[in-house]
Structure 1
């Protein structure tokens, strides 16, 4: 049932796809706009999305008449907009709700943590690994995501204003490239 080698493999695969460390500038930027990021709520919602997709992913997409490619392109468009904000220092994504909790859901929980890449990867992992091993890998990643989200203030202090500005633009370009790649890979199918 539980295989530590498989759990380790799933954990590393999801870790590289989620890339929460690469999302730190985005998280810091969202926290500046929203005032507060609800780390626990974002982690919980991301976990629910990942686990739901593990069991119901194909069915959910079919229910809405969607394929994985369409889902990936939608996530890529949101990532593209976030990248443009980071690079140009402008605000395109504006939350009209009060209290700032929505910033923990969109775009933090989806598409940054549990985005199209993560959810598509989870669907692919089902073909190779047993469900308990995938669930364990998801939980390990969620714990790490929570710790990183909770420590963004500390990281921002260590980076300083100019360090954050440089990092935000660099990761903005990387995020833009990832969005274009996802878009290109799925729009041409």
Structure 2
């Protein structure tokens, strides 16, 4: 019990990292847009499937992502720098307000393509798993971040703690999408954009920390 009290800040930082990268608040307009034609029960089902799938993806990345890196002989510090750069790119997109716009544009193209091909029905699973679960929720940034945290804190207690945080975050994300229609009815779009930019700034700080620590480790290894 004392261990978790002493290390609780790690899990708080991990949760904040997931929150800033995935940004469920910023995904509310996307979720509403994708499920606009669904009934309330269908929207709830889509919400549960999407977050459960994202949960499985993130847990798999937590336990097996580093093994994939070892298979390709990729060092921890190299992956931290690459992951930090990737996360930083997400952060810049969030601060510029282009990430959400690109997400909606990509989905609009897919919807237009399906409308032109009316002989093929658009399956609900395609919405919940692709693109909601991946890449919107468990995207490259989130997967990279999970692997980075796992490699930095790799003992059994941390793995259990990270798993609990991912589970809690999935529940939080599911609850956020559940109340999304109510949020959009009382919160103006401009406030969501402001939140996106603030989250982008926090995310950029996390990315810089990953890159700086990795470069520092490489430099000191040659001294």
Shorter-chain TM band: 0.5 to 0.7
Within the candidate set 54, 58, 69, 2:62 is matched to: 54
Q: 1:6: Cα distance to partner? A: 2.1
Aligned to 2:209: none
Tell me if the contact between 1:81 and 1:93 (Cα under 8 Å) persists in the aligned partners. Answer: no
Q: 1:126 is paired with a residue of what secondary structure? A: helix
Aligned residue pair count: 165
Q: Deviations over 1:78-99 (max 9, x none)?
A: xx897247479x8202365544
Within the candidate set 166, 183, 186, 1:155 is matched to: 183
Aligned to 2:51: 43
- Which aligned runs of 4 or more in structure 1 are off by greater than 6 angstroms? 61-64, 67-70
Aligned to 1:83: 101
Q: State TM-score, norm by structure 1.
A: 0.67
Q: 1:22 is paired with a residue of what secondary structure? A: coil
**What is the alpha-carbon distance in structure 1 between the residues aligned to residue 36 and residue 71 of structure 2?**
37
The within-5 A match list for 1:34-183 is: 36-37=42-43, 38-60=46-68, 83-84=101-102, 86=104, 91-94=108-111, 97-129=121-153, 130-159=158-187, 163=188
Gaps of 5+ in 1: 182-189
Q: 1:39 is paired with a residue of what secondary structure? A: helix
**What is the alpha-carbon distance in structure 2 between the residues aligned to residue 85 and residue 167 of structure 1?**
18
**What is the alpha-carbon distance in structure 1 between the residues aligned to residue 10 and residue 103 of structure 2?**
38
Tell me if the contact between 1:18 and 1:113 (Cα under 8 Å) persists in the aligned partners. Answer: yes
Tell me if the contact between 2:66 and 2:151 (Cα under 8 Å) persists in the aligned partners. Answer: no
User: Which structure dedicates a bigger proportion of its chain to helix?
Assistant: 2
Q: 1:82 to 1:62 in 2, by over 3 A?
A: farther
Tell me if the contact between 2:58 and 2:166 (Cα under 8 Å) persists in the aligned partners. Answer: yes
Tell me if the contact between 1:25 and 1:167 (Cα under 8 Å) persists in the aligned partners. Answer: no
Tell me if the contact between 1:85 and 1:92 (Cα under 8 Å) persists in the aligned partners. Answer: no
Gaps of 5+ in 2: 73-77, 91-97, 115-119, 205-223
Q: 1:32 is paired with a residue of what secondary structure? A: coil
Instruction: Calculate the aligned-residue CA RMSD, in Å.
Output: 3.9
